[in-house]
Structure 1
């Protein structure tokens, strides 16, 4: 075997500030909100003035306080969990593959960057590369943005690797099974809730109207999980979180639905966030803390956030199976 036989697996996710400080958050937001796939509603010169003249002067301090609520001694939960995912997947693939495999992590924004990850893989002699964006439901703002950045970073390479790119896995059997297996132990311990809420990151309706399949893929994921868990229509709901700006987004809004359920006197709600492959500020703070506060303050009984798939063994096996389904000929030699 030569080093050129090594297959690279690049796991990617959104990214995180390096620290829960205004300066670090400002750096992160400046990169994130400069992405044309993310901020596309205004002409670029106007958006640049708004971003640098208003948003990056006001929002970093508020966001830093939010990040501090979920920051751990190890650092950002998203980064720590993502690193564990890489290590776990590396171990599984080392056992299953007949060729050398190198698993790397690259974040779309901030560190470790996609550019750095590609450089490490290139230095290791990787000639076959499978990119796995950890966004089960495709969206141009996440999955396509990742592709854009990888293509841009590869412009400087004289010898490009053979490239395969997974653009989603919302209905993948292993993924659906992993979601169900993350829910079942919770219910075995304390019984099923009055309502199970599937909360996904929201998107402007304009994106869906322009052809983005995200909404439909979220619905398919939920339907498959509910069928597997034998849930009736009255036992669950689908909602969308993290809305910003004034334009219309996908509905219902998670916070509004939790408030409504609290007013109705619902006793217990469990929330699962299938679109987030690793727990992060949107799950640990927006749902587990603020969502719970919203529900309880409206009169609800109890809200429990069911942790993300993270580095659960079922999730790692699903990712390994996904890699084999897309690159089995590479991984089997």
Structure 2
């Protein structure tokens, strides 16, 4: 009988073969509700990760539980309330929509075997541990993990790798594993970003300058070997070339810094104020480090930094949405998946004559 991409029966089902291959998308995560009570355990899990904050554990535990978790949950809850939708957290809703669209796209490409596409959150639910165990129960024996972070950082993708490793430790028979480390300069991804910006300009007109705001990390992490800054700059260079802009037209900055330690510069909030003070009236901002819109894009950029820009003399800061579940992002991620799974029979094209699957690369629409 024909294989179904939506097969969810248990391994060994007598009517259908078990799912043999899976794709696990992983995003950062989100609290379950925009309340201090819900935000507190989410922040505790996030900020307890030594990949995110690498201070001595005993010292950080005192700071985290003695100060931060007493104050920050209510502040963060207020920020989440500004962007929360009737459907829930934008990051959760957007990530689920992207997962569903990617599943449909892989189905359209008609691979030879059944493929399971699932979503996990690094912090919060559904956890990486739960989803890998669920995929194992469904018969997945080959698994591609795709963190939704275009640029690699130990604080993001590195932390996902830790969670995956921890999950595999609990399995008696772990699946064959492949991981997408990053896709910061992937040609299809750059094209998707460029098309998104161009289409936004076609509708809204082009601002005086384009600012690419990436999430920041401490400079110390880069000195220790984190490639994140270089990959952000590589993404920016590729977009400049594709959009035919120079370094005065397309700028780069880093957002979301916390604490007193020096983070990657220039800082986004300082940059938007400086540009407004220099006479820039309309500023377009895109965030190529975020696959799906979230607190950092919708509240920090589109709201907070818009206010900073206006207060400093600018007229309008216009946020260009993340790629989310747009066809361009879905197709670019599908192409990425197929490239990283070459050699796995489930991802080979099923020939019309029913012959052996072909292993050559897929051509997307």
In the alignment, the residues of structure 2 paired with residue 93 and residue 50 of structure 1 have an alpha-carbon distance, to the nearest angstrom, of 46
In the alignment, the residues of structure 2 paired with residue 10 and residue 187 of structure 1 have an alpha-carbon distance, to the nearest angstrom, of 33
In the alignment, the residues of structure 2 paired with residue 4 and residue 169 of structure 1 have an alpha-carbon distance, to the nearest angstrom, of 30
In the alignment, the residues of structure 2 paired with residue 89 and residue 135 of structure 1 have an alpha-carbon distance, to the nearest angstrom, of 16
Q: Mean Cα displacement is larger for which, 182-191 or 223-232?
A: 182-191
| Kept after mapping to 2: 8 A contact 1:4/1:127 | no
The secondary structure found in structure 2 opposite 1:141 is: coil
Give the one of 121, 126, 137 matched to 1:112: 126
| Kept after mapping to 2: 8 A contact 1:201/1:242 | yes
Deviation at 1:125, TM superposition (A): 0.1
| Kept after mapping to 1: 8 A contact 2:24/2:145 | yes
- Residue 60 of structure 1 is matched in structure 2 by 73
Deviation at 1:322, TM superposition (A): 0.1
User: 1:119-268 counterparts in 2 under 5 A?
Assistant: 119-268=133-282
| Kept after mapping to 2: 8 A contact 1:3/1:124 | no
| Kept after mapping to 2: 8 A contact 1:130/1:163 | yes
In the alignment, the residues of structure 1 paired with residue 304 and residue 234 of structure 2 have an alpha-carbon distance, to the nearest angstrom, of 27
* TM-score, normalised by the number of residues in structure 2: 0.89
In the alignment, the residues of structure 2 paired with residue 4 and residue 161 of structure 1 have an alpha-carbon distance, to the nearest angstrom, of 13
In the alignment, the residues of structure 2 paired with residue 18 and residue 189 of structure 1 have an alpha-carbon distance, to the nearest angstrom, of 35
Task: Flag structure 2 segments of 5+ consecutive residues without an equivalent.
Answer: 4-15, 349-356, 358-365
| Kept after mapping to 2: 8 A contact 1:270/1:303 | yes
Q: Is the radius of gyration larger for structure 1 or structure 2? A: 2
| Kept after mapping to 1: 8 A contact 2:211/2:284 | yes
- Residue 30 of structure 1 is matched in structure 2 by 44
- Residue 64 of structure 2 is matched in structure 1 by 51
Give the one of 75, 87, 111 matched to 2:88: 75
The secondary structure found in structure 1 opposite 2:291 is: coil
Task: Flag structure 1 segments of 5+ consecutive residues without an equivalent.
Answer: none
More helix by share: 1
User: 1:278-317 counterparts in 2 under 5 A?
Assistant: 278-317=292-331
Deviation at 1:123, TM superposition (A): 1.1
* TM-score, normalised by the number of residues in structure 1: 0.98
Tell me how many residue pairs correspond in the alignment: 332
In the alignment, the residues of structure 1 paired with residue 107 and residue 333 of structure 2 have an alpha-carbon distance, to the nearest angstrom, of 14
Which portions of structure 1, spanning 4 or more consecutive aligned residues, are displaced by more than 4 angstroms? none
| Kept after mapping to 2: 8 A contact 1:133/1:146 | yes
Alignment RMSD (CA, Å): 1.0
Per-residue deviation, residues 190-248 of structure 1 (Å, max 9, x unmatched):
33211100000001000000010000000000110110010122111100000001010
In the alignment, the residues of structure 1 paired with residue 167 and residue 142 of structure 2 have an alpha-carbon distance, to the nearest angstrom, of 16
The secondary structure found in structure 2 opposite 1:167 is: coil
